[in-house]
Amino acid sequence: METEIDIHRIREILPHRYPFLLVDRVVEVTPGERLRALKNVTANEPFFDGHFPHRPVFPGVLMLESIAQASAILVSLIIDAKASRKNVYLFAGVDKARFKAPVEPGDQLVIDVSLEGQRSSLWRCSGTISVQGKTVCTSDVLFTHRPIE
Domain ranges of the chain: 7-147
State the pLDDT at residue 148.
Answer: 87
What confidence tens digit (pLDDT) does each residue in 3-33 have? 899 999 999 999 999 999 999 999 999 999 9
Give me the amino acid identity at 114: S
Decide: 45 and 103 in contact? Cβ < 8 Å.
Answer: no
The mean pLDDT of 43-56, rounded to a whole number, is 92
Question: CB–CB of 66/45 below 8 Å?
Answer: no
Residue 136 CA to residue 98 CA, distance in Å, equals 8
Alpha carbons 55 and 48: distance in angstroms, whole number = 9
Q: Which residues are catalytic?
A: 51
| Domain 7-147 top-level CATH class | alpha beta
- Residue-wise pLDDT for 120-133, tens only, equals 989 999 999 999 99
